[in-house]
Structure 1
Amino acid sequence: MAVKNMTKKQIQTFFERLRAQRPNPKTELNYSSPFELLVAVTLSAQATDVSVNKATDKLFPVANTPEAIYALGVEGLKEYIKTIGLYNSKAENVIKACKMLIEKHNSAVPDNRADLEALPGVGRKTANVVLNTAFGQPTMAVDTHIFRLGNRTGLAVGKNVLEVEHRLVKVIPKEFIVDSHHWLILHGRYCCTARKPKCGECIVSDVCNWPDRFEFGAARTISVKNIEA
């Protein structure tokens, strides 16, 4: 059965609930500057945030600027990130990106999509994360969690990540758009999981359009009193 798109009223309620649950959502990647975030997100491709944090918690105290990481060289960087998947290619890309930042951007992370996506190892999703998290721009990085959640709930039905991204940016009210990326990732990671979604614990299951949600314990109505502040 095809999932119907949420109505404006459903979407408004959906994000009001997520905001009430997590008033100040943040990425689970550890970083303290736009450059650290750029490196962390680049390393996080096909890897968990936990594994990336374990590596960068050792790397960043030693090198957390384009010059410092570039000075490590590819082999030196590998020693810090070798526990992360695809670390060989990631090390090469990060070093090349550092060189480009130094030579073309005065060592500063660009705040526009074109320059970010020109950096080695930086695709649309990584650029969206940096633009949103570091610079507060209303972009939407669609990962596996958000793609699943958008299609499952009816929030943003699309055949590919780009369709889902465009749909989300179009339908999410302006008051929620900047923080929505984090709300959706966290909800998809911890509640609306792939194999066994926790519909019985979900604070937005009554505005969700997934036909199978009741099989996973969803209630017909939700008590907002149970939403954690």
Structure 2
Amino acid sequence: MNKLKRLEMLTRWRGANPHPETELNFSSPFELLIAVILSAQATDVSVNKATDKLYPVANTPEAVYALGVDGLKTYIKTIGLFNAKAENVIKTCGMLINLHESVVPQDREALEALPGVGRKTANVVLNTAFGWPTIAVDTHIFRVSNRTKLAMGKNVDLVEQKLLKVVPAEFKVDVHHWLILHGRYTCIARKPRCGSCSIEDLCEFKDKTE
């Protein structure tokens, strides 16, 4: 895809949704961090149902840590992989308390040292909580980037590197939200809704649907 097409694609997404937001419910960097840890291989809807009950009871590292693994499980047991996630969240809360004065660090290396936090989760937190121009590549972004030819790569790391290279600075903070929403509601996995797509004329996917 050439530079002009990319620019037009991003401009259209910005025009339709100038201030995109995550669909995870949160009111602090800590709440976002925990929600993103819980969202691995789970839907935002399922995570929100759990955290809507959890956060009124415990929404600080100390309060969640005090629940313990078994106490936390009672709130998140409807989420996939809840046993492992409960262990990771409690360990993460302990590290935040002991190493970071209960504050979510604005540092990639420190974030990725937390249990249950990989590069994608760190990117989401840095971008959404702190406004960093990072791009978290999930399955939706990987699919949309490759399918449209916006930024092609054989794995999520390569797609992230390509996006960071080709997306102009003015769009970098918001582009991963646009791509997620586009993949979640329009450019869906099995049968993309090309007929209702705002960028159909720019997209270079060969097998477009009616």
Q: Report the TM-score when normalising by structure 2.
A: 0.99
Q: How far apart are the structure 1 equivalents of 2:187 and 2:111?
A: 31
Is the aligned partner of 1:106 residue 2:91? no
1:183 aligned to 173, 178, 188, which one? 178
The aligned counterpart of 1:196 is: 191
Q: Which runs of 4+ in 1 moved over 3 A?
A: none
1:138 aligned to 128, 133, 137, which one? 133
Match of 1:142, SS state, is coil
Q: How far apart are the structure 1 equivalents of 2:33 and 2:148?
A: 30
Q: Which has the higher contact order (CA 8 A, sep 6+)?
A: 1
**Could you list the per-position Cα deviations for residues 103-149 of structure 1 after superposition, in whole angstroms to 9, with x for gaps in the alignment?**
00000001111000000000010000000000100111100000000
In the TM superposition, residue 212 of structure 1 has moved relative to its aligned partner by 1.3
Q: How far apart are the structure 2 equivalents of 1:211 and 1:182?
A: 24
In the TM superposition, residue 23 of structure 1 has moved relative to its aligned partner by 1.4
Gapped regions of structure 2 (runs ≥ 5): none
**Could you list the per-position Cα deviations for residues 186-210 of structure 1 after superposition, in whole angstroms to 9, with x for gaps in the alignment?**
0010000011101010000111111
**Could you list the per-position Cα deviations for residues 16-69 of structure 1 after superposition, in whole angstroms to 9, with x for gaps in the alignment?**
111111111100000000000000000000000000000000000000000000
Paired AA for residue 59 in structure 1:
L
Paired AA for residue 168 in structure 1:
L
Match of 2:172, SS state, is helix
Match of 1:200, SS state, is helix
Paired AA for residue 33 in structure 2:
L
Match of 1:205, SS state, is coil
The aligned counterpart of 2:9 is: 14
Q: How far apart are the structure 2 equivalents of 1:13 and 1:28?
A: 25
Gapped regions of structure 1 (runs ≥ 5): 1-5, 218-229
Identity of aligned residues (%): 70
Count of aligned positions: 210
2:142 aligned to 124, 129, 147, which one? 147
In the TM superposition, residue 170 of structure 1 has moved relative to its aligned partner by 0.7
1:68 aligned to 63, 69, 90, which one? 63
2:20 aligned to 5, 25, 42, which one? 25
Q: How far apart are the structure 1 equivalents of 2:50 and 2:69?
A: 15
